């Protein structure tokens, strides 16, 4: 049944008419019987065909009207009329209804998009109005900034022309840029004060160039006199240096002689010590010989005693022991002679030991005397060495003093040249100061210029014959050279 409802209306009419025709054929077959042609059956068939034709025509007309309505709706959509409702066709055809439903969805979507475009156009119009307002504000701000920039440019142009009197007006700048004219005016004020100070200092420098020139001339005169005095001092120091060097050479020769005497005394002391050691060895050898002779004497005594005992035993033996008794007698005699000889040698050695002891004592006294002489020679050598070293140091010091004096002469000559250069530099400085004043004259300063004056005149009259004050230069002995630190005299230029 649900499938029949899904069929189009025309097809449903055809199905109904077909069923009616079938029922008529069944009734005819039941009552008329086969083989009989009834006029009612022919009429029924004609009616069935006519009904079918009418149903098809009716269905076609309904479908056409529905499609015409949908076509008008599509035309309205094409014309942009999205707000008109789409009427659903009542043909009962599902394809037509599906088409109508799809068109309805398209219409709603297009209507939604049209509403979005309208809203977007409204937003765009609002944004354009805001942009126009912002452009007006930007133009106003740019005009204000242009005025401020022009004003600043005029101020910079005047500053470039040397006008330090003009200032920027703060009312020509917007509130957020009021710091620019304030800082610019402060910078111009500082520049004005600085240039005013520079101009005043330039005038003071020009005024002081004369003082410097006079002082340079004074210094040149005194430098020339100092150079003459230093040359005389250098000549005197040359003579003193030669004399001290000769004394140093003599002291060096004396040192060589005392050094030779010291060497000879040391050698003599060494010989005496060796002699003492040799005497000591002889004494020790004598003592050893004495001990050996004592042993020999003891052996002779024992031999004599044994020979005596042998003689006694031979006498007891009678005639059989006579030969042995003779031998024992000879041995006893030989032992006696050995004992006598040992006694004589012992006496000689004792006398020799006494003489050796005296010699050792004399040699020791000689060594002590030579040690005293050696000590005195060493003292003399040290004294002569100190004298030679002092003479050498004096000669070296005088040579250094001479070199320092010569260097002082060179320095004084250099100072004279520097004084001349200072005078030339002072003249050049005066010219540069005049040029500086000329350049500063191109600025409109308009401020009070303070000229700096020297606090007092440091120049003094140069005496014709200056008195030499007692002073000594300090010499600082370094590793390789002698540095001079001169003490300045009162009132002198340094």
pLDDT digits (tens, 9 = 90+) for 389-447: 777 787 777 778 878 878 887 887 787 778 778 878 888 888 888 887 777 776 777 65
* Highest mean pLDDT of the ranges 102-106, 209-213, 456-460: 209-213
Higher pLDDT, 65 or 370: 370
Pair of tokens at residue 46: 């004609």
- Residue 452's pLDDT is what? 46
Pair of tokens at residue 448: 């009070």
Q: Is the pLDDT of residue 463 over 50?
A: no
Determine the Cα–Cα distance for residues 150 and 357; give it in Å rounded to an integer: 130
Per residue in 158-178, pLDDT (tens digit) is: 878 777 778 888 887 887 778
CA angle 273–278–283, rounded 5-degree value: 125
Determine the Cα–Cα distance for residues 186 and 183; give it in Å rounded to an integer: 5
- pLDDT above 90 covers a percentage of the chain that reads 0
Per residue in 228-239, pLDDT (tens digit) is: 877 788 788 788
Pair of tokens at residue 117: 């475009």
Q: Is the dihedral of CA 20, 24, 25, 26 positive or negative?
A: positive
Per residue in 41-53, pLDDT (tens digit) is: 556 566 666 666 6
- Residue 336's pLDDT is what? 78
Distance in angstroms between the alpha carbons of the first and the last residue of the chain: 138
- Residue 129 binned pLDDT confidence (cut-offs 50, 70, 90): confident
DSSP, collapsed to helix, strand or coil, labels residue 292 as helix
The secondary structure of 383-437 as a DSSP string is HHHHHHHHHHHHHHHHHHHHHHHHHHHHHHHHHHHHHHHHHHHHHHHHHHHHHHH
- Residue 484 binned pLDDT confidence (cut-offs 50, 70, 90): very low
Determine the Cα–Cα distance for residues 164 and 199; give it in Å rounded to an integer: 14
Q: Is the pLDDT of residue 329 over 80?
A: no
**Which residues lie across from 189 on neighbouring strands?**
none
Q: Is the pLDDT of residue 99 over 70?
A: no
CA angle 284–290–292, rounded 5-degree value: 105
- Residue 215 binned pLDDT confidence (cut-offs 50, 70, 90): confident
Determine the Cα–Cα distance for residues 116 and 110; give it in Å rounded to an integer: 10
Determine the Cα–Cα distance for residues 210 and 119; give it in Å rounded to an integer: 91
Residue 35 backbone zone (phi > 0: left; psi -120 to 50: alpha; other: beta): left
Q: Is the pLDDT of residue 73 over 70?
A: no
- Residue 194's pLDDT is what? 82
Per residue in 9-29, pLDDT (tens digit) is: 555 555 555 555 555 555 555
Q: What is the mean pLDDT of residues 285-305?
A: 76
- Residue 125 binned pLDDT confidence (cut-offs 50, 70, 90): confident
CA angle 412–392–237, rounded 5-degree value: 30
Q: Could you give phi then psi for residue 410, rounded to 5 degrees? A: -65, -40
Determine the Cα–Cα distance for residues 407 and 178; give it in Å rounded to an integer: 68
- Residue 311 binned pLDDT confidence (cut-offs 50, 70, 90): confident
The secondary structure of 362-381 as a DSSP string is HHHHHHHHHHHHHHHHHHHH
- Residue 462 binned pLDDT confidence (cut-offs 50, 70, 90): very low
Among 141, 139, 150, 152, which Cα is nearest to 179's? Answer: 152
What share of residues in the chain are helix, strand, coil (percent, to 5)? 80, 0, 15
**Which residues lie across from 484 on neighbouring strands?**
475
What lies within 8 Å, CB to CB, of 117 at 6+ separation is none
Among 478, 396, 394, 414, which Cα is nearest to 230's? Answer: 414
Q: At what angle do helices 39-78 and 94-160 cross, to 10 degrees?
A: 10
- Residue 71 binned pLDDT confidence (cut-offs 50, 70, 90): low
DSSP, collapsed to helix, strand or coil, labels residue 473 as coil
Q: Is the pLDDT of residue 98 over 60?
A: yes
Determine the Cα–Cα distance for residues 298 and 132; give it in Å rounded to an integer: 157
- Residue 72 binned pLDDT confidence (cut-offs 50, 70, 90): low
The secondary structure of 429-465 as a DSSP string is HHHHHHHHHHHHTTSB--SPPPPP--SS----PPPSS
Q: Is the pLDDT of residue 124 over 80?
A: yes
Q: Does the global pTM surpass 0.75? A: no
Are 401 and 289 contacting, i.e. CB atoms less than 8 angstroms apart?
Answer: no
Per residue in 234-280, pLDDT (tens digit) is: 788 788 878 777 777 777 777 777 777 777 777 777 777 777 777 77
Angstrom CA distances, 377 to 244, 256, 261, 388, stand at: 26, 12, 7, 16
The conformation of residue 479, written as its DSSP 8-state character, comes to: S
With tokens 């007698």, the residue in question is 329
How many residues appear in the chain? Answer: 494
Q: What is the mean pLDDT of residues 207-222?
A: 78
Determine the Cα–Cα distance for residues 341 and 360; give it in Å rounded to an integer: 28
When the pLDDT of each residue in the chain is averaged and rounded to a whole number, the result is 70
- Residue 102's pLDDT is what? 67
């Amino acid at each position: 049944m649900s499938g029949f409802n899904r069929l189009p209306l025309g097809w449903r009419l055809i199905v109904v008419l077909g069923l009616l025709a079938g029922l008529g054929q069944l009734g005819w077959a039941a009552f008329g019987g086969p083989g009989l042609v009834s006029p009612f059956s022919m009429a029924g068939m004609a009616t069935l065909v006519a009904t079918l034709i009418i149903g098809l025509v009716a269905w076609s007309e309904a479908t056409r009207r529905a499609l015409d309505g949908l076509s008008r709706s599509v035309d309205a959509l094409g014309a942009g009329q999205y707000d008109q409702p789409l009427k659903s066709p009542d043909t009962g055809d599902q394809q037509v209804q599906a088409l109508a439903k799809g068109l309805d969805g398209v219409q709603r979507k297009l209507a939604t998009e049209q509403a979005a475009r309208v809203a977007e156009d409204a937003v765009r119009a609002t944004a354009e109005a805001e942009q126009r307002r912002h452009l007006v504000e930007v133009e106003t701000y740019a005009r204000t900034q242009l005025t401020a920039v022009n004003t600043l440019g005029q101020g910079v142009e005047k500053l470039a022309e040397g006008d330090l009197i003009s200032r920027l007006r703060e009312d020509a700048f917007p509130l957020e840029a009021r710091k620019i004219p304030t800082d610019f005016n402060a910078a111009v004020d500082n520049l004005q004060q600085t240039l005013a100070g520079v101009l005043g200092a330039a005038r003071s420098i020009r005024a002081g160039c004369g003082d410097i020139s006079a002082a340079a001339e004074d210094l040149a005169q005194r430098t020339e006199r100092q150079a003459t005095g230093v040359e005389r001092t250098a000549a005197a120091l040359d003579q003193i240096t030669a004399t001290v060097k000769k004394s140093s050479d003599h002291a060096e020769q004396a040192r060589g002689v005392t050094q030779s005497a010291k060497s000879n005394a040391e050698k003599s002391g060494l010989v005496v010590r060796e002699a003492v050691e040799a005497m000591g060895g002889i004494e020790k050898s004598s003592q050893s010989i004495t001990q050996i002779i004592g042993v020999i004497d003891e052996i002779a005594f024992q031999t004599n005693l044994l020979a005596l005992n042998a003689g006694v035993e031979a006498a007891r033996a009678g005639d059989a022991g006579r030969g042995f008794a003779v031998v024992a007698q000879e041995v006893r005699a030989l032992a006696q002679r050995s004992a006598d000889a040992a006694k004589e040698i012992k006496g000689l050695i004792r006398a020799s030991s006494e003489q050796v002891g005296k010699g050792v004592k004399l040699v020791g006294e000689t060594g002590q005397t030579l040690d005293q002489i050696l000590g005195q020679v060493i003292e003399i050598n040290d004294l002569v060495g100190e004298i030679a070293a002092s003479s050498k140091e004096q000669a070296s010091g005088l040579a250094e003093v001479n070199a320092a004096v010569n260097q002082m002469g060179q320095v004084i000559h250099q100072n004279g040249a520097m004084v001349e250069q200072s005078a030339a530099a002072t003249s050049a400085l005066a010219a540069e100061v005049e040029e500086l004043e000329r350049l500063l004259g191109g600025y409109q300063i308009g401020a009070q210029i303070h000229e700096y004056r020297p606090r007092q005149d440091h120049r003094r009259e140069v005496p014709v014959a200056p008195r030499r004050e007692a002073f000594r230069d300090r010499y600082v002995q370094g590793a390789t050279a002698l540095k001079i630190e001169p003490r300045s005299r009162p009132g002198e230029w340094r």
